[in-house]
Amino acid sequence: MSPFTTILTHPGGAHKDEFLACCVLVASASTPVPIVRREPTDADLADASIVVVDVGHVHDPALLNFDHHQLPDDAAPTCALSLVLQHLRLYEDARAFCDWLEPAEWFDCRGPNATARWLGVERDIVNQLYSPIDGTMLRRFAGQTEHAAGEPIWELMRMVGRDLLDYLRGLRTRLDFIGQHAQRWTLDGVTNGDVPAEVLFLPRTDPLPDEPSSGLDRYVMEQDLNDCVVAIIAPDRRGAGYGLSRHRDHPAMDFTRITDEADVHFAHLRGFVAKTSATDPARLRELLTIAATP
């Protein structure tokens, strides 16, 4: 992203879209930049060193202007965060990895009533999902006309932005890693509806990632394997063996059935996860077969 000296967004009440857009911008800046909350001037909109977010009725990435309010009513729900992520070439991954992004776009562009209908839920459920963390942060953000480095709100916003950027960039790298190393096993005699049941197996690598199972569920989704994968096997970060988990709570797998196996040192009483010291793929397949056999 081109260097910039200031982030400018609208005054008055704050919303999640410009708040998160500012978080991402603060985190992506090469040096600490202030956030100013006021109406932009024509000079601001023409100055490529000032990022104008969610105000100004202009979307011009070359000049770092990211407003969506001028878009037609029939345009796909698009918010300020969407436009900033598009500019950073992270939007497609964000839509794939952040399940909350599309509802956030709908809330900002269509309001809670239309969003509830789109989600297929009663309007009152929207109120039940209210977060006091969100409310406090937005009120505090709206309560000042400027936020600068070193101040609590600005520093927290940078943390939020960094976490989001790290998640998006790190998960893409992680999914590529899984794609290079993971194996798909078919479980003989087990089906997922009309489809042969499969297990996603991630072998142990050196070095071992801090969270070996991270990204596996998302990998299954991205590869469109939800209709066949019933279980996941990943290295146990606390031992030399593996963790076995039921994918999406699939009823075919019940790990209480392997509780008495000598190399199984933990099986949850609800049957959705187990830990084993076994490392031989043939033995791991056997344990999965036992867990899938009523």
Q: Closest by alpha carbon to 230, among 269, 186, 260, 261?
A: 186
Residues 25 and 164 in one domain: yes
Residues 200 and 130 in one domain: no
The per-residue pLDDT for 181 is: 95
Residue pair 25/84 in contact (Cβ under 8 Å)? The answer is yes
Q: Is 240 inside a domain boundary?
A: yes
Using one digit for the tens of pLDDT, what is the confidence trace for 192-219? 677 888 999 999 998 888 888 999 999 9
Domain that holds residue 285: 182-291
CA-CA-CA-CA torsion for 226, 230, 233, 238, nearest 10 degrees? 100
pLDDT band at residue 86 under the 50/70/90 scheme: very high
Average pLDDT along the chain: 94
Question: For the chain, what is the domain count?
Answer: 2
Nearest-angstrom CA–CA distance, 2 and 276 = 50
Residues 206 and 71 in one domain: no
Average pLDDT of span 56-69: 97
Phi, psi of 86 (to 5 degrees): -60, -45
Residues 167 and 186 in one domain: no
pLDDT band at residue 293 under the 50/70/90 scheme: confident
Residues 193 and 165 in one domain: no
Contacts of 206 (CB under 8 A, 6+ apart): none
Average pLDDT of span 229-242: 93
